[in-house]
Amino acid sequence: MTFKSEQDTVEALLLIPDDVSGPLPAVVMAGGWCYVKELIQPEYAKYFLAAGYACLIFDYRRCGGSTGLPRQHLVPEDQQEDYKNAISYLETLDEVDSERIGIWGISYSGGHVLAVGATDPRVKCIVSNIAVVDGYTTMQKCHGAMMFRDLEAQLLDDRRKRVQTGEYGTIPMSGPPADGLSTWPFPEIRPVFEDLKASSAPAHEHWNTIASVEHLINYNIYPHVSRIQNTPTLMIVADHDDITQWDKEIEVFNLIPTVNKKLVVVGDTSHMTLYSDLSRLALAATEAATWFSAHL
């Protein structure tokens, strides 16, 4: 199925639990950096379906089955608008209770859902997993001082070339530092995404525009969270997460003013473990399903 998000057409999966009559509460789901809707999110959705929730999982514009150019160009504000337009689409469906819509995100979208929940009153419940919350600090820490200098130089070079040619340069999504610059310079990321691409998400592309990284560096969730005043919010962090920095995530959690919030720390777990280890994934998904059941 599809819905419109501004000028583009967004492709989505609508999952409905078996043997449950509607209208149903629903969870809007989208992924992180260079995700497509089939990439790991259906594994999380299984837990929400079992709890009686409909799930809408969508591809951001310019990615996967959705339209939009340039391809693999990730603009966080656009992706947050895609979330809001997904909610608008759900409101039109007879199967969905439009007064009971929650949002779920992971990694980059773990930050998005905090921004969307802060600015869209239709969101009744938020679940944020291993979120990107401060893109500048994240990129500095991920790349280190010397590689970050090189990354900033590449961003400027690409910006100058775009003015001259109108074309967007590209960069690998991930890879070991010895292979050159990438957005996420960690050796463990690519094998996990390659396995997921081979098994369930063939539409995944492991690259993005260089300009996407500039958007990431300017990404900051901190100004949004003061507006989450009465929306139940669950944040799930991993205690070995040095990709999106779990200490920064906890810092954001402490700034959310609603008293109706919960922090879950998944122990002995890294960022990528919540993709590659289904037993760890089950811990995070069960916490999320329980939160939705209590508050949505």
Per-residue pLDDT reduced to its tens digit, 47-91:
999 999 999 999 999 999 999 999 999 999 999 999 999 999 999
pLDDT digits over 26-41, tens only?
A: 999 999 999 999 999 9
Pairing between β-strand 123-129 and β-strand 233-238 as defined by DSSP bridges: parallel
CATH of 2-133+221-295, one of 3.40.50.300, 3.40.50.1820, 2.60.40.10, 1.10.260.40: 3.40.50.1820
The mean per-residue pLDDT over the stretch 130-135 comes to: 98
CA neighbor of 34 nearest in space, from 87, 104, 109: 109
Q: What per-residue confidence (pLDDT) applies to 19?
A: 83
132 neighbors 219 (Cβ within 8 angstroms): yes
240 neighbors 217 (Cβ within 8 angstroms): no
Whether the per-residue pLDDT at 285 is higher than 90: the answer is: yes
Domain extents in the chain: 2-133+221-295
15 neighbors 57 (Cβ within 8 angstroms): yes
Q: Which amino acid is at 29?
A: M
pLDDT digits over 88-110, tens only?
A: 999 999 999 999 999 999 999 99
pLDDT digits over 218-253, tens only?
A: 999 999 999 999 999 999 999 999 999 999 999 999
pLDDT digits over 157-177, tens only?
A: 999 999 999 999 999 999 999
Q: What per-residue confidence (pLDDT) applies to 85?
A: 98
The mean per-residue pLDDT over the stretch 3-30 comes to: 95
Cα-Cα end-to-end distance for the chain: 24
Q: Which amino acid is at 180?
A: G
Quick one: tokens of 261? 């919030």
Q: What per-residue confidence (pLDDT) applies to 21?
A: 80
Q: What per-residue confidence (pLDDT) applies to 187?
A: 94
Whether the per-residue pLDDT at 7 is higher than 90: the answer is: yes
42 neighbors 285 (Cβ within 8 angstroms): no
29 neighbors 116 (Cβ within 8 angstroms): no
What mean pLDDT value characterizes the chain? 97
